[in-house]
Each structure stands twice: as C-alpha cells, then as structure tokens.
Amino acid sequence: MRNGRLIACALFVIAALLVGCSDADPNPPEPTTGDWHGGIEIPGQALQIGVSFSGEGTATIDIPAQKVAGAQLKDVTSNRNEVSFVVADTPGNPTFRGKYDSGSDKISGDFTQAGQSFPLVLERGKIATLARPQEPKPPFPYKSEDVSYRNDEITIAGTLTEPQGRGPFPAIVLISGSGAQDRNEEILGHKPFLLLADTFTRAGYAVLRSDDRGIGGTGGSLDEVSYADLSGDAAAGVRYLRSRPDIDPARVGLFGHSEGGYLAPLVASGPDSGVGFVVLMAGPAVAGSDVLVEQTRLLATVNGASAYEVDTQVRQTTELVALLKAGDLAGAKELARKQNEALPADQRLPADQAGAQITPYLSALVAYDPAPALSALRVPVLAFFGDKDLQVPAVQSEQPMRDHLAADPDAIVHVFPGLNHLMQPAETGRPSEYGSSETTIAPEVLGYVTGWLQQRVPTT
C-alpha cells in the first residue's frame, strides 16, 4: 500500500530565503529578483522546486512533482540583508532560511518543516519540467467518455475509454492504492492509471478508472469509510460496466494496485460478483498490520537509521497498529500524541497534527486480512510484485500469495527484478525515487500484463 499519507510529510514544500548583498553600491539591485531553482535534500533524493521573486515583496513557488505551479508565497520580506517567505496553508510551517552569496550567485540555507531540516541551494533559472515520456497525449485512437454512477448515496465520477467500434468489449475496472487518489492515480508527476488505461484500450479492452471518495467528481470522504464501502465502490463500477450494451458482461475484470490489491479479490470473491478475471499489481497477501510494520523497518533501514532507531520505529508502529486493529482509535490517537511528544523538540509535529492520520479508514486498512478473499478466488488471476518494493515487499507477500491462490486453477504469481512499488526501475526502492524516475511503469510490465490478458480474455 502506498501509505503516502503517513510517510511523505516532508514532500509538502514551502520556502523562505535570507539574502545578503554588497555594501559597495548604496542602492544595488535586488539580487534575488527573477527565477531560481534547486532541490530540497530530503533523504534519498532532492525534491526539485522553483522560486520566482518579483522584486516588489512578492514571490511564487513551483513544485512540479506535486502539481504546484505559481503558488503565491506569504509573509515575503525583501531587503538588502534578507528575503523570507512562507507558503500558506501547508502543515508543518515549512520555512527556508538562507543567504545569497554574490561570489557563487547562489542562495544557500536550510528548509525546515514539522521540526525537520533539509539543505536547499537555489541557482538562477527556471525549474525544468518533469520528463514523463510515457504519459499518453491526444489525439487517441480510441473513445474517451467522462461517466458517473452510484454506490448507494455516493456518486462516483470517472473516465471510460473504449476501442473504436461497436463492441461489446471486454472491460477492466482499475482500483487505486491507499489514500485519496484521482482517477489517474497521480503521484509525483506520474499518472500510472492513465498509462494503464491507454495501454489496455489500445489492446482492445474498455477501461474504467475513477476518482476516490472526496476527490475530483466523487462524493463522500475517505476518512470515515470501511472496507465494505470501498469494495462497494469497486463493485458499483463492475455493475455499471455490465449494464452497458457496449460492454460484454461476461468479460469484466478488476485491476488492483497496492491497496487495490486488497479490494479486487474482496469484490471478485463475493457472491454473484460478475468479475471474470483479476490482476493484482503489488497487492499485499498478508494483513495490513504486518505490511505497515515491515514497511516501517525497511524504509527506516534504507534511509540510514541506526539499529536502535529502526527498533524504536518498529516498536512504535507495532504498538500503534495493535490499537488500530482493536478499533481503539482514541487510544491510537493518544499514543501517537505521546510518541510525538517523546521526540526531540526539533523533530516534533505540531500538536494539532499528531494523530491526524488516525482515522476509521486507516483502522480498516490495518485490520484487513486478505487470506479469505484470495483463497476463495476461482477466476484467472495474475499477481505480480517488484523485488525493490519497500512498501509491499515481495519477500513478505510472494509466498503467501502463492499459498492463498493454490486452489485457483488459473493463477500466476510473478516477481519482476529491479522494480519498485510503482513498477519503475529502481536502485533502492525508496519512495523518494518515484518522482526522479522518468519511467511511469516499466515497459516489460505493460507487455507482460497485456500478453496475459490477451491469452485469458481475448478481444476477438
């Protein structure tokens, strides 16, 4: 599961600059006026930002990996000795303080947020746009339609892509990973579900991708949902497709990524689900509590934590998930508050943010055990992992997945070498590498899955 809402706090960016200048000229030009770019040195990778100073006490920031463009900075100060600014409405009071060096013509300092500090050096010039060569661009050789359908009182909005022609077509419902995702499952400038929809539609399949609750055109809120709600949303997509005359109702399947790999089998194993096949990309085969504990250990280790720090973080996560599994949200919030207070002062979250991620939704994720639903599947299943994945580790889920699917007459479990949680080529598997990779999904994965689909669910 992506767990982005728990582990990516440092990716919310804001900056403040302190700039000195020479006394040789009694009224020199403002040295920071214009465009600057640089990288916040978060562990594992620099997060690229661009800052533009107007010279009139205002400035804006661009963060391409987070879809931030021209965001107005507040509390901007600009004089001969310092320039400072803050981006409004961002948790953790992110601030950058540095100095302008006329010799190097650079601004150097430290970016701080939620008690954490990271080096930042800005150089002159605009920030480069993100290279995403796989992102599909129009015109497309297929039909694309914005659609909506309902699950009880919730309206779900999405996009349906279909091959040219009258059909009826085989179809795939895409189910996203944890957290509130848009229909493209956009993360750090990548749009994995847009690429998957384009790939599968070109191969002859209709594809439905939708916004999660509280995102885009979909109603409701993710924080309060249960797994019955989430699986119901996915099942509503299946029913919607099967009701259309241009879709073959006997050939509708599910593709689940990460947490979507929990939900797809849950839907498909239900009575009269109408699901004809299932594809699981980095879908966990063990309980959510086990995934989060192992994820904590692996990420702390790869980010250079000491053995003591790793043990401490694993213990704290274990204590927290035990309360969540028991449904004790109040106790989990109090524990999160105490754990935060035990940190050094410069590492603490603001008091009102400690425990903010403790929700019924997180409790449902932590408590979920996928074994019953996976073991009940009797349709063609493809489950695959990347061996560099630190969020849903293949070493933890591969064998349990094989065991759970053993009674299914047509199930394949495959591990791709060198790929991370998004199926990108990776060096370490750190989530901080996701944005720096130009690859959205490795071509060998797209080819493998498309080949499996064409064998199990031929389009002609």
What pLDDT is attached to residue 179?
A: 92
**278 & 419 share domain:** yes
Q: Where are the alpha helices (DSSP H) in 253-389?
A: 260-268, 288-302, 307-325, 329-341, 360-367, 371-375
**263 & 333 share domain:** no
Output 434-440 pairs: Cβ under 8 A, ≥24 positions apart: 434/187, 434/188, 434/190, 435/45, 435/47, 435/65, 435/130, 435/188, 435/189, 435/190, 436/45, 437/190, 438/131, 438/132, 438/133, 439/134, 440/132, 440/134, 440/135, 440/190, 440/191, 440/192, 440/195
Side-by-side strand order, sheet with 95-101: 83-87, 68-78, 59-63, 45-53, 34-42, 116-124, 106-113, 95-101
**47 Cβ partners below 8 Å, 6+ apart?**
10, 11, 13, 39, 40, 63, 65, 432, 435
Binning pLDDT at 50, 70 and 90, where does residue 13 land? very low
**253 & 265 share domain:** yes
Q: Which of 342, 364, 386 marks a domain boundary?
A: 364
**How confident is the model over 324-336, as pLDDT tens digits?**
999 999 999 999 9
Instruction: Tell me: pLDDT of 437 over 90.
Output: yes
The count of structural domains within the chain is: 3
What's the domain range around 407? 142-286+369-456
Tokens of 174: 């895409």
**239 & 179 share domain:** yes
Instruction: Tell me: pLDDT of 227 over 90.
Output: yes
**108 & 38 share domain:** yes
What's the pTM value of the predicted model, to 2 decimals?
0.85
Instruction: Tell me: pLDDT of 18 over 60.
Output: no
**384 & 257 share domain:** yes
Instruction: Tell me: pLDDT of 344 over 60.
Output: yes
**How confident is the model over 76-106, as pLDDT tens digits?**
776 666 777 777 777 777 888 888 888 888 8
Q: Is residue 135 part of a domain?
A: no
**26 & 106 share domain:** yes
Provide the CATH number for the domain around residue 198.
3.40.50.1820
**300 & 342 share domain:** yes
